[in-house]
Chain A
């Protein structure tokens, strides 16, 4: 990973939301950060290319469009790890996927346009992998604000 400078950190910390819907959004966002538009565009391109940022754009809340998000987990045998990662990640409905230290060692989020899409995606993963999918749909949301500032 590349070294981040103070401007990169400011982009990461101050631009996690609030990108303007103005006619000249990059110029306006850059002015807020105290840099020029070309600098902001070049830095965003670099931060995306190097994987410091995974995305830049609107974050959609699929439930507000009638869809569903569900957290799910698998207990993947170590010797089948790579094959199962490929099978699960191949589904466009898998939005995020993390390896975790537990017998349930693969945790992923399914995001589908309809509530029924969740059951279809789970059935598909169970068929493709032969493994049981543990589904953990949220029953109550107490808090969500995924905003972490740069610490490097």
Chain B
């Protein structure tokens, strides 16, 4: 990564130009050729600095109106094996282990679950509960009620 890569990230983090040759437009603003823009984006994609290039939908607008963050207090000795299993469930979009914040927050396993209704999300959360079994001491389900910001990264 050099300064030009950084400039390229800044030029594209808000989105790509909606014109036939977006690479030429980006290159024009950075003083490099369209081919150089493509070459560098390719390299960033290969290095994993770019996760993917495409559309980012608003979940609510495309029918996923119930979005729940399920959180679980799982025994420390069991959480990694179980976290991998929860993450492998087809309906879980993100699954992480995070630190507890006692006494306010006893949960160490977070899994995002989406649906068209709260009932659907709750049913999916119930399947996670079955999987965790007695290794889970406590849990909660936090529905999102509003997107307050969704700009993505801005460096």
Interface of A is mostly: mixed
Please indicate the chain B residues that have their CB under 8 angstroms from the CB of A27 in the complex. Answer: 20
Q: How far is the CB of A106 from chain B (nearest CB, A)?
A: 7
CA distance A15 to B15 in the complex (A): 14
Asked if B29 is at the interface (CB within 8 A of a chain A CB), the reply is no
Instruction: Choose from A26, A51, A56, A103 the contact partner of B54 (Cβ within 8 Å).
Output: A56
Asked if B56 is at the interface (CB within 8 A of a chain A CB), the reply is yes
Pair A24/B98 contact, Cβ less than 8 Å: no
Q: How far is the CB of B22 from chain A (nearest CB, A)?
A: 7
Please indicate the chain A residues that have their CB under 8 angstroms from the CB of B54 in the complex. Answer: 15-19, 56, 59
Pair B116/A59 contact, Cβ less than 8 Å: no
Interface residues in A1-40 (C-beta closer than 8 Å to B)? 1, 4, 11-12, 15-19, 21-27, 37
Asked if A124 is at the interface (CB within 8 A of a chain B CB), the reply is no
Q: How far is the CB of A70 from chain B (nearest CB, A)?
A: 9
Most B CB within 10 A of own CB, among A62, A94, A144? A144
Interface size for A (C-beta < 8 A) is 78
Given A15-B55, A19-B54, A102 contacting B80 (CB threshold 8 A): no
Closest chain B residue, CB of each to CB of A50: B61
How many A-B pairs fall under 8 Å by CB? 243
Please indicate the chain B residues that have their CB under 8 angstroms from the CB of A104 in the complex. Answer: 104-105, 142
Asked if B122 is at the interface (CB within 8 A of a chain A CB), the reply is no
Pair A23/B34 contact, Cβ less than 8 Å: yes
Most B CB within 10 A of own CB, among A54, A64, A88, A134? A54
Closest chain A residue, CB of each to CB of B49: A64
- A sample of 10 more A-B contacts (CB under 8 A), given A54-B56, A64-B48, A95-B154, is A21-B45, A24-B21, A89-B149, A96-B147, A96-B149, A101-B142, A107-B144, A108-B148, A111-B154, A146-B93
